[in-house]
Amino acid sequence: MDQKVLVLNGDYTAITLCSVQKAFVLLYLDKAEMVANSEHGALRTISQSYPKPSIIRLQRYVRVPYKGITLSRHNIMKRDNFECQYCGSTKNLTLDHVMPRSRGGTSNWDNLLTACSRCNHSKGHRTPQEAGLVIRQMPKKPTLSGFLKLSAGTIDQNWHAYLN
């Protein structure tokens, strides 16, 4: 039961993902309603069977202060699909500043990307253009819905209407 459930706010905007167990508790306590159930099995007790939730909506609107996605090593690598953005390798990954810090580059979503240690070392204190490297995907700050897609792993077909 490591599947995730999409949690919608009272106005049908995506808030977060939770476990099937947590979603079932919210449904059972009437704090949420089921928007869509999963085709992958059901939740069973000794005497009853319940549909497994895929999307739930909170009964009341919850004000969630959006602080953005935290800039961290793990989140940058997750955004970049745990691949070197120069050669595509998945081994010995590090973070690289597109504009080197020695030249005034800052540590933000638009300047950090995932690179293998070999590409990072060969780039050194140069820009990718000066080092002859091509960036596969330009770094940018991820959106909440895009990050929820990355966090989920496998995405239920029912989610597409709420994550786009």
pLDDT score, position 83: 96
pLDDT score, position 72: 94
Does residue 39 sit in the same domain as residue 82? no
Q: Which of 28, 140, 161 is nearest to 75 (CA)?
A: 140
pLDDT score, position 150: 77
* Distances 92 to 6, 16, 86, 135 between C-alpha atoms, Å: 33, 31, 13, 18
Does residue 34 sit in the same domain as residue 54? yes
85 has a pLDDT exceeding 60 = yes
pLDDT score, position 160: 81
Task: Work out how many domains the chain is built from and give that number.
Answer: 2
107 has a pLDDT exceeding 80 = yes
Cβ distance 148 to 17 under 8 Å? yes
Name the residue with higher pLDDT: 155 or 100. 100
Task: Report pTM.
Answer: 0.74
Main-chain dihedrals φ then ψ at residue 11, nearest 5 degrees? -100, 20
pLDDT digits (tens, 9 = 90+) for 8-35: 999 999 898 999 999 999 999 999 999 9
Name the residue with higher pLDDT: 31 or 1. 31
Does residue 77 sit in the same domain as residue 119? yes
pLDDT score, position 156: 80
94's CB contacts (< 8 A; 6+ apart) are 114, 115, 116, 117, 120
* Domain assignment of residue 46, given as a range: 4-66+144-163
Half-sphere exposure of 106 (CA within 13 A, CB side): 4
